[in-house]
Structure 1
């Protein structure tokens, strides 16, 4: 904010002085025309810089629920409990490792056993609950067990997700239903289980893992793109309800949009071949997990874009540019298959 004010003042001063009055020392080799050009660029460049800086300030203010400061004193990481869906392997397991490194106790909800990558020391801070998150009964039983074993969670990370590789005409109904049940409907179940305690304590953090597919629909993965775009809407709506329905802006919400990341999805032959064909850069799950947990430790809300920063702005581009971007990704997902079940 201070930098923004200084830039604005500097731009005002530049508009009040003549180019010849710019001070660059007596040994300056700049000609009158060069001074005039430099003056012009500074006169217009500094205000633009100030506008961009001010926009960033407003964005951070909005992400913080129109509050200038966040009270971090309520957070004692060694006393916090986090729930991570799909935390047995992949990105989820890396997130669990990052959380326990901060002393946070973690409850892992997954249908597959914990990865053998967890050390004995890490296992002391985590509990595994075999749970099918698409079953409300299963989820409720796991939630009750977590509250009994560890206490009420203050952090919920909806990480579980699957990927399909089917065209709209080819996808089996069961695969389509499973995609929506896991990738988006389950978020209603976990939030309904754990949010009430957070509201009662006016403290919590809910994080959802979406994708850059939230902004660009992919041929051959229309169902996946739909669920990720839906998660963006879920995140925005949840944030609004916390502020305006539950009067609880203290609860943080974050949605994460990773680019292609090394996982069961990108390892699927129908997708791996396409990524290789276009020379796509694949993120490491450890890097994604580090960014996610860093956001939690900072007690910040907002969107995390792990990929081209222009991604959220794609929908604001001219239609022809949007279509060129979609065309460039049209052959990444080919063939038939699903990562469901592992």
Structure 2
């Protein structure tokens, strides 16, 4: 995917190191010094130089490699305990439903699976950005309307087969202070960002429970659901509810239908039209995330049949610790991060029934 033209990316006037971020540094270290394979190469190299087994560098390198290996094994065990065994996924037999899949992250995932031979149904109120895509069938549908979802579900099952993978990706951002939001706008925002998840899960989950191979439900949430932010009261409330819905549903399914997998995606600011014009407060600590990077992780989790929790960038995986901080420290952190100033440059798109700055979008 080509670099996004939206705000938050380095401009031509920025210095050469602008793309550098803490995520890139951590990624480099995880694939080098903190990787078990690389860690064990170090003592082997010392031994190749005829260094004695009891030499200090040799002992230190062995201790380092052993510690890294134990941490890696602990991570594997933790994932197995947390997420259980994977389900078998055969893309030729899967029917994937993606809400808000006409553009952005949803469209990217749809195109990848379409090219790989899966059957993909895209639900969106807007026409597909690329017109059409191989293996992808477009259905015009407002996921905030229960009746439309029911009608489209019947068409999908009749034309494509029973859905086995559901990706709830549709969202709307109004970007207004609470006092500037009308009641119909609040209703529309909460319906699209939160209630639509209930509607689609209630519609498609029963078919997954009847399938011999189970199914996968992917929930696209946001770090804003944990942090909250000025001019995002409706969006933050909805995303907090979406995260809670995922956790509760995962607990229910573990008891009643363990063959169903659930994936929670909690991204920071994505480089998509949903947040057009919004500037990231700190490109090093909180870089804008490219949809292709999130798509890779989502596709990996689905392909492997795993339960998963995906947070990007790095701070998104640790954002829950924010609420552990003393309230005074939280206030200082918010001020330094600039999270409540980000929406001041929000642009959105024109031509929407939700107003100049509000539009139903895919991530």
User: Distance in 2 between the 1:176 and 1:335 partners?
Assistant: 21
Relative distance call for 1:265 and 1:98 in structure 2 (3 A) is same
Map 1:181-330 → 2, pairs under 5 A: 181-202=191-212, 203-244=214-255, 246=256, 248-267=257-276, 269=277, 272=278, 274-275=279-280, 278-279=282-283, 281-308=287-314, 309-327=317-335, 328=337, 329-330=339-340
Deviation at 1:150, TM superposition (A): 0.6
Relative distance call for 1:101 and 1:322 in structure 2 (3 A) is farther
- Give the SS at the match of 1:157: strand
Deviation at 1:171, TM superposition (A): 1.9
Q: Does 1:63 align with 2:82?
A: yes
Q: Is contact 2:87-2:304 (8 Å) kept? A: no
Q: Is contact 1:217-1:225 (8 Å) kept? A: yes
Q: Does 1:107 align with 2:113?
A: no
Match of 2:18 in 1: none
Relative distance call for 1:167 and 1:113 in structure 2 (3 A) is same
Deviation at 1:151, TM superposition (A): 0.7
- Give the SS at the match of 2:227: coil
- Give the SS at the match of 2:219: strand
CA shift digits 1:265-317 (9 cap, x unpaired):
221x4xx2x43x65452222222222211110011112101112322332233
Q: TM-score, normalised by structure 2?
A: 0.73
Match of 2:177 in 1: 167
Deviation at 1:326, TM superposition (A): 2.5
Deviation at 1:228, TM superposition (A): 1.3
Q: Is contact 1:212-1:257 (8 Å) kept? A: yes
Give the number of the structure whose alpha-carbon radius of gyration is greater.
1
RMSD of the TM alignment (CA)?
2.9
Q: TM-score, normalised by structure 1?
A: 0.78
Match of 2:21 in 1: none
Q: Is contact 2:98-2:110 (8 Å) kept? A: yes
Q: Is contact 1:97-1:118 (8 Å) kept? A: no
Q: Does 1:83 align with 2:97?
A: yes
Deviation at 1:27, TM superposition (A): 9.6
Q: Is contact 1:211-1:256 (8 Å) kept? A: yes
- Give the SS at the match of 1:180: helix
User: Distance in 2 between the 1:310 and 1:201 partners?
Assistant: 35
**Unpaired segments ≥5 residues, structure 2:** 1-35, 37-50, 347-355
Q: Give the structure, 1 or 2, with the largest relative contact order (CA under 8 Å, sep 6 or more).
A: 2
Q: Is contact 1:212-1:307 (8 Å) kept? A: no
